[in-house]
Amino acid sequence: MTSAISLRGVSVSYGETPVVEDLSLEIAEGECFGLVGESGSGKSTLLRAITGLAPDWTGGISLFGQARGKSIDRRFSALCQMVFQDPYGSLHPRQTVDAALSEPLTIHGIAGADTKVPAMMAACGLDPRFRFRLPHQLSGGQRQRVAIARALMLSPRILLLDEPTSALDVSVQAEILNLLKRLRREQKLTYILVTHDLPVVSFLCDRLAVMRQGRVVEVADVAALRANTMTHPYSREMVARSERRV
């Protein structure tokens, strides 16, 4: 079986500075894969390279066996979408929810926005009354639901999540995580979840990779995280730090 996401020897750099170095990963279809690491470890950059937003990479990235080019193209847009960290910055301030959700359909020439938008809003737990509201009339959690709905409008098979809950209140975080869990089950999605929050990984993910300074130091099952049986000293240190905070 081909993997949903296959990264072979991927290096990403911003100008002269290498951010991700020689990284290889295979992620199976339907899996939720966590990428953890501290700030600057290159995990968000890796996501941006997979989507095409950071075009300065070398190596091989393929989704469902199809190698992708450096720039964004529509075939891959429909296959793989991303949810951003900051729900306050990821929605256009002058566009209503309706406009944000119809835009991907218009770009891809898909008809039927009038039925698809309310359906997706319902699937993401958004009240139909919010349809013509502007982002500033929504709460952070509602905005993140809109961002998730927007990412799912093209029915992608892969969803990349860049710290989707770190900008939200704890109670809202739980709602969004439950929503993500349900959507993954219902739509058979493959997730890559970038976070520095280990409890989120153990709640949502099947496997995880620990990244440090642009390299993967360890790939482990989430059971190893829960049982604290990860092998690399840096991973153990991270788990220990996370437990101290709780």
Partner 1 sequence: MTTTTRDWLLSETPASRMQARLGRSYRVFRALLRNPLAVVGALIVIALVVLALFAPLFATHSPYAGELTDRLKPPSDAFWLGTDELGRDIWSRIVYGARITLAIVVLVAAIAAPIGMVVGAVSGYLGGWADRILMGITDIFLSMPKLILALAFVAALGPGIENAVIAIAITSWPAYARIARAETLTIRNAEFISAVRLQGASAMRVIVRHILPLCTSSVIVRVTLDMAGIILTAAGLGFLGLGAQPPLPEWGAMISRGRSFILDQWWVATMPGFAIVIVSLGFCFLGDGLRDVLDPKSGNRQ
Which spans of this chain sit near partner 1 (rule: CB under 8 A)? Answer: 51-53, 72-74, 77-78, 81-82, 84-86, 89-96, 98-99, 103-104, 107-108, 129-130, 132-134, 136-137, 147, 150-151, 154
Task: Compare residues 114 and 246 and give the one whose CB is closer to partner 1.
Answer: 114
Task: Give the integer Cα–Cα distance in Å for 191 and 206.
Answer: 10
Task: Compare residues 143 and 212 and give the one whose CB is closer to partner 1.
Answer: 143
Q: Which residues pair with 185 in a beta bridge?
A: none
Burial 151-165 (b: 16+ CB within 10 A, else e): bbbbebbbbbbbbbb
Task: Give the integer Cα–Cα distance in Å for 115 and 35.
Answer: 36
Task: Give the integer Cα–Cα distance in Å for 77 and 90.
Answer: 17
- Minimum distance, C-beta of residue 155 to partner 1, in the bound complex (Å): 12
- Minimum distance, C-beta of residue 57 to partner 1, in the bound complex (Å): 16
Q: Which residues contact 228 (CB under 8 A, 6 or more apart)?
A: 236, 239
- Minimum distance, C-beta of residue 55 to partner 1, in the bound complex (Å): 11
Task: Compare residues 74 and 226 and give the one whose CB is closer to partner 1.
Answer: 74
- Minimum distance, C-beta of residue 144 to partner 1, in the bound complex (Å): 12
Residue 175's closest CA among 144, 131, 199? 144
Task: Compare residues 92 and 241 and give the one whose CB is closer to partner 1.
Answer: 92
Task: Compare residues 72 and 122 and give the one whose CB is closer to partner 1.
Answer: 72
Task: Give the integer Cα–Cα distance in Å for 13 and 93.
Answer: 31
The strand ranges marked E within 136-214 are 158-162, 190-195, 207-212
- Minimum distance, C-beta of residue 83 to partner 1, in the bound complex (Å): 9
